[in-house]
């Protein structure tokens, strides 16, 4: 296939977006993508067309950050308070399950060709560079 084949580019872009939305590991390449986009002084015309790429990267990073902060706060509260450890572990499992379900939902939306978005997460993601 020639390198300028539009179908190959669309498939590669979709695969990259799915990689960003993978739970646990997808936030790292998404963060690297955001960092590299920020380091470039002047966006080229082809990068301006990658709004969905940046939006999905922002969502993946903000979703992972919210999940990690919530886990840290629940664990800290469990250690400082006199909360039974079973309750802390149960709440941690609910948070982690919600994180996985949210990422799967975003992947399903992306697979359907819709704009992958979660209410409230867009406002947080827009604050990222």
DSSP string for residues in 70-124: HHHHHHHHHHHS---HHHHHHHHHHHHHHHHHHHHHHHHHHHTTS----TTHHHH
Q: What integer pLDDT is reported at residue 127 of this predicted model? A: 64
Q: What integer pLDDT is reported at residue 1 of this predicted model? A: 36
- Rounded to whole angstroms, how far apart are CA atoms 32 and 11? 20
- Rounded to whole angstroms, how far apart are CA atoms 108 and 28? 21
Highest mean pLDDT among 44-48, 59-63, 115-119: 59-63
Mind listing the pLDDT tens digit for each residue in 78-114? 888 777 888 888 999 999 999 999 999 999 999 998 8
Mind listing the pLDDT tens digit for each residue in 23-58? 989 999 999 988 887 776 655 556 544 678 888 888
pTM for the model: 0.79
């Amino acid at each position: 296939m020639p390198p300028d084949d539009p179908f190959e580019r669309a498939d590669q872009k979709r695969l990259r977006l799915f990689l960003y939305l993978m739970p646990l590991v997808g936030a790292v390449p998404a963060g690297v993508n955001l960092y590299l986009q920020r380091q470039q002084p002047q966006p080229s015309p082809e990068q301006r067309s990658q709004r969905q790429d940046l939006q999905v990267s922002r969502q993946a990073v903000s979703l992972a950050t919210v999940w990690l902060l919530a886990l840290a706060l629940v664990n800290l509260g469990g250690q400082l308070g006199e909360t039974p450890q079973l309750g802390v572990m149960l709440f941690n499992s609910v948070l982690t399950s919600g994180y996985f379900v949210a990422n799967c939902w975003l992947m399903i939306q992306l697979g359907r060709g819709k704009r992958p978005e979660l209410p409230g997460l867009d406002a947080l993601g827009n604050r990222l560079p």
